[in-house]
Amino acid sequence: MANQTYDAEKKAKKQQDYQKLAGQVAPKRPIGKNCVRAFFVGGLVCVIGQCFTFIYEKWLHFDKETSGNPTVATMILISVILTSFGVYDKIAQWAGAGSAVPVTGFANSMCSAALEHRSEGLVLGVGGNMFKLAGSVIVFGTVAAFFVGLLHWIFTYGG
């Protein structure tokens, strides 16, 4: 029993030593540069989306309320096409979170999973694995929306 405790402590010490050494050897990440990249790429994605909104409103005569749905669908389509050709992954590698946060990042995660598992078939491969990463986004988004709605209800009607 005492020997097992000693082995566990020895293993934990080795793990701490390894983490310390890895931290010293690993290259430092340019956090400021990465934040600026993410900010500008995320902003550019939003600007492109806004341009599509203007196109739908001015040229196709949608109103402000109905132009959002085709704009989102267009951005998702562009993201899926870029993912299929391997372009979106290069943008994401360079931009980081700036490409992951908008709806295009969500479409990229689903399309990537579908492409990765397409050899396993449509049902078990694509259908079964497409929501692995995106599923957590859907769950946490739904839970967050519930709590925001609950707080809105409490402050609007409960107080």
Residue from 37, 11, 100, 21 nearest 3 by CA: 11
- pLDDT for 95-134, tens place per residue? 888 887 778 888 888 887 777 777 777 777 777 777 777 7
- Whether 150 and 134 have beta carbons less than 8 Å apart is answered as no
In order along its 159 residues, the chain shows pLDDT tens digits of 556 666 777 777 778 877 877 777 777 888 889 899 999 998 999 999 999 999 999 999 999 999 999 999 999 999 999 999 999 989 888 988 888 777 888 888 888 777 777 777 777 777 777 777 777 777 888 899 999 999 999 999 875
Q: Residue length, the chain?
A: 159
* Angle, in degrees to the nearest 10, between helices 131-153 and 103-116: 150
CB neighbour list of residue 86: distance below 8 Å, 6 or more residues apart = none
CB neighbour list of residue 41: distance below 8 Å, 6 or more residues apart = 91, 94, 95, 96, 98, 99
Report yes or no on whether pTM surpasses 0.75: no
